[in-house]
Amino acid sequence: MSGSRFYITAAIDYANGAPHIGHAIEKIGIDAMARYRRLCGQAVHFVLGMDEHGLKVQQSAEAAGISPQQWVDEIATRFEAAWRRLAIGFDDFIRTTQPRHERAVAEMVRRMAAAGDFYRGSYEGYYCVGCEAFKREDELVRNERDELRCPVHPGREVTWTHEENWFFRLSSYQDRLLRLFDEQPDFLQPEGRANEIRRVIEGGLEDISVSRARLPWGIPWPGDPEHTVYVWIDALTNYLAAAGFPDGDHERLWPADYHVIGKDITRFHCVYWPAMLMSAGLPLPRHVWAHGFINFGGAKLSKSEGVRFELEELIERHGPEALRYYLLREIPWNGDGEWSLERFDERYVSELANNLGNLANRTISMIERYRGGVVPGRRQEIKDQQIAAAVLRYRGVMDANLLHQGIAAAMELASYANGFVEARAPWAQAKDPARAAELDDPLAALARVVATLATLLQPFMPVKMAELGAQLSLPDPVPLDALTGLDLAGRPGARGPVLFPRPEQEKKPTK
């Protein structure tokens, strides 16, 4: 494992609005996965980006009175700024309007064509003349006269229209896809999702249309400039493009170790995408991880609610890292979870301020007070078993990408340490000259716990944990393997600003 490459991707976000909490939790989770792998010594390459073609982008740009390119440039800037604000440590930011991506898409189309997997077919559907585009029925509304209309152009007629375009022989990949799920049961995780997709495949696959004739904001179809590449081949190919495809050195990164996506798009990543790659003769990603969603008041967080929770407001509430912590603590990474401001506040105070922050503070304070700000050496391996057990548990669940359980394992160690302080009562030992010498052991043990916590929680709160480590003169970050024999004796220990200050009492949830 150690030293090996680890290519992990986020789903690229559609450039049609501002980044919100739903976008954020995905990037935060992937960042935690990436940082954990780095702590394990792997050479991580983490890519995220934007999906910038398509009708909606074109329309949004028109509505704003700017060109599509200007529009996506602005959106991309906002997303990237949000990710930096949240300390997302991505290595690359790919955009589907970049030349490197267009090149990759063109090559994908050429390869799939060479495989004989495209044919001219007829796509039909509702067509809005105003939009000059096909619409799904659920995108349309009915007017007073019960006529179907596009919400953007209620005055224009919507007609059932045929269009000749390119089709991909997805149906011919059914057997190969089933074999994929047979031979690689962990291709799609968590497990339950794989069963869902398997049933979809077993139910039979239809060919999909992969080009559009009248949608100008897209990548031209190689050899048929009347068409643009439709979303599937365009968007999904970003993972290859970011690896450098079609240049030879893309094999340095590809295949990806993990595509992390929302559970709603597993079909595209676990049916369309593998089939496309098979067609193009390329290796498949090793794993796809489908995370869940945020619920609010028992229901999926809708877009309007997502916007209601203005990302910047949430960040300012307790700081960016507290938001990272709360989201990954509360929402299981392998499922859905309930979100609320009240819980955010509760967890911030009880877990970050009281349990973790106070433990760090009291520990280093005692080192300052009783040992002149120098971590003492230990005479025996006090508490090493508990630390080792916590690290082991942590690694076990983190290897399985159960981020919420990783946090839980760390916080249990913090709780344990707080109990340990009470049990040893260092202040009593300090007052008793006969016992003062014994003080080294608990103080050294506590320092090791704090150092361990700074590492275990680093994937979740990289900046705060670096600050914490610095209070014990530790490098940032301490790799997991270095934790075992870590000797802190002689290191200066000095308190810094309170890591997670308690909010003022009057700060009530703005529900």
Q: Which residues are catalytic?
A: 20, 23, 128, 131, 150, 153, 300, 303
Q: Does 14 bind RNA (CB under 7 A)?
A: yes
| Residues 20-79 close enough to bind RNA by CB under 7 A | 51, 54, 56
x/- map, 148-187, RNA, by CB under 7 A: ----------------------------------------
* Residue (184 or 354) nearer to RNA, CB: 354
Q: Is 426 in the site for RNA (CB under 7 A)?
A: yes
Site string for RNA, 323-362 (x = CB under 7 A): -------x-x--xxxx----x--x--xxx-xxxxxx-xxx
Q: What is the nearest approach in angstroms of RNA to the Cβ of residue 165? A: 9
- Shortest distance in whole angstroms from residue 107 CB to RNA: 20
Return the number of other C-beta atoms located less than 10 Å from residue 345's C-beta: 18
Binding mask 74-113 for RNA (x = CB under 7 A): ----------------------------------------
If the CB atoms of residues 249 and 338 are measured against RNA, the closer one turns out to be 338
Q: Left if phi > 0, otherwise alpha if psi is -120 to 50, otherwise beta: which for 481?
A: alpha
Q: How many angstroms separate the Cα of 252 from the Cα of each of 7, 12, 98, 255, 485?
A: 10, 21, 21, 9, 33
Q: Among 11-19, 105-113, 395-403, 486-494, which window interacts with RNA (CB under 7 A)?
A: 11-19
CB of 251 to RNA, least distance (A): 26
If binding is defined by CB under 7 A, does position 205 make contact with RNA?
A: yes
Q: How far apart are CA 134 and CA 361, in angstroms?
A: 61
Output phi, psi for 90, to 5 deg. -80, 155
Q: Is 268 in the site for RNA (CB under 7 A)?
A: yes
498 near RNA (CB under 7 A)? yes
Q: Which of 65, 136, 434, 485 binds RNA (CB under 7 A)?
A: 136
CB-nearer residue toward RNA: 157 or 427: 427
Residue 253 CA to chain centroid, in angstroms? 19
Q: How many residues bind RNA (CB under 7 A)?
A: 70
Q: Is 208 in the site for RNA (CB under 7 A)?
A: yes
Residue 209 or 452 with smaller CB distance to RNA: 209
State in angstroms the smallest separation of the CB of 34 from RNA.
22
To RNA, the closest distance from the beta carbon of 400 in angstroms equals: 13
For residue 375, give the amino acid letter.
V
Work out whether 230 is an interface residue with RNA (CB under 7 A).
yes
Residue 227 CB, shortest distance to RNA, in Å, is: 13
Q: What DSSP designation does 499 have?
A: S
CB of 484 to RNA, least distance (A): 25
Q: Sign of dihedral through CA atoms 423, 426, 428, 434?
A: positive
**Nearer of residues 38 and 424 to RNA, judged by Cβ:** 424
* Cβ count near 115 (within 10 Å): 13
Question: Cβ distance 459 to 317 under 8 Å?
Answer: no
Task: Read off the amino acid at residue 287.
Answer: H
Residues 453/317, Cβ–Cβ less than 8 Å: no
265 binds RNA (CB under 7 A): yes
H/E segment holding residue 420? helix 403-424
Q: CB of 108 within 8 A of CB of 240?
A: yes
Residue 369 contacts RNA per CB under 7 A: yes
Report the candidate in 448, 439, 442 with the shortest Cα–Cα distance to residue 387: 448
- Per-residue H/E/C for 81-110: HHHHHCCCCCCEEEECCCHHHHHHHHHHHH
Nearer CB in complex with RNA: 286/416: 416
Angle of the 174-183 helix axis to the 191-202 helix axis, nearest 10: 160
Structure tokens at 345: 């506040």
- For residues 6 and 143, give the distance between their C-alpha atoms in angstroms, rounded to a whole number: 52
Question: How many Å apart are CA 235 and CA 13, to the nearest integer?
Answer: 10
Per-residue contact track with RNA, 439 to 468, x per CB under 7 A? ------------------------------
Q: Which residue has the tokens 């529009």?
A: 71
Q: Which position has the token pair 């275990």?
A: 456
Instruction: Name the burial class of residue 466, with classes exposed (0-12), middle (13-18) and buried (19+) by CB atoms within 10 angstroms of its CB.
Output: middle
Site residues for RNA per CB under 7 A: 12-14, 51, 54, 56, 123, 134-136, 139, 192, 196, 199-200, 203-209, 230-231, 235, 264-265, 267-268, 295, 298-300, 330, 332, 335-338, 343, 346, 349-351, 353-358, 360-362, 365-366, 369, 415, 418-419, 421-422, 425-428, 498-502
